[in-house]
Amino acid sequence: MTNTFAVTGKAQAVLNVIHHYVWKLDANEMDGLASLLCEDAATRGVSRRTDVSWGEWRGREEIARQLRQIRGAQTGRRRHQLTTPVFFDLSESNAVVQVYLSILSTLPGKKPELVTTGQYRFSLRRSPEEWQIAAIEAEFDGKVA
């Protein structure tokens, strides 16, 4: 029989990692973001209904470098808000979770605006010490510039 409490505990630990990821992204703390990634992590993404896509970027350092460049070019205070998690896999060593995303941005002196909605699919691996992100597939519903 599955231990429901243990499963829920794992799910919370996984969610804590992906929430950390978006907080680090918003704060442009890319060293901290990189520490959440597996050494061989990969990511790619697409903005639906546009011709914009990115990646696949491979490796912790390369992902941090690319995201630092993008985040550095954005002027607004951004918040990647994650909701509605759905787990497709959750074992002792692997997890796959999909979450909805709302990106909100506020320019100085302006009201916050919804930049886009979308979804992330995170794959994570658990080392003896911690969960780390192995892959991120992003799908945005509109432009993110």
Out of 19, 58, 71, 125, the residue judged to bind other proteins by CB under 8 A: 19
Out of 2, 73, 92, 108, the residue judged to bind other proteins by CB under 8 A: 108
The answer to whether 37 and 63 have CB atoms below 8 angstroms apart is: yes
Nearer to other proteins, 69 or 91 (CB): 91
User: Is 70 one of the binding residues for other proteins (CB under 8 A)?
Assistant: no
**In the sheet that 53-58 helps form, which strands lie side by side, from edge to edge?**
53-58, 37-47, 131-140, 113-126, 94-106, 77-90
Min. distance of Cβ 82 from other proteins in angstroms?
A: 5
Give 16-58 as a DSSP string.
HHHHHHHHHHHTT-HHHHHTTEEEEEEEEEEETTSS-EEEEEE
The pair phi, psi for residue 132, each rounded to 5°, is -135, 155
Min. distance of Cβ 48 from other proteins in angstroms?
A: 22
The answer to whether 14 and 82 have CB atoms below 8 angstroms apart is: no
Subset of residues 84 to 103 that bind other proteins, contact rule: CB under 8 A: 102
Peptide bond connecting 113 to the previous residue in cis, omega within 30 degrees of 0: no
Nearer to other proteins, 3 or 127 (CB): 3
# residues near other proteins by CB under 8 A:
29
Q: Which residues contact other proteins by CB under 8 A?
A: 3, 5-6, 8-10, 12, 15-16, 19-20, 22-23, 77, 79-83, 102, 104, 106, 108-114
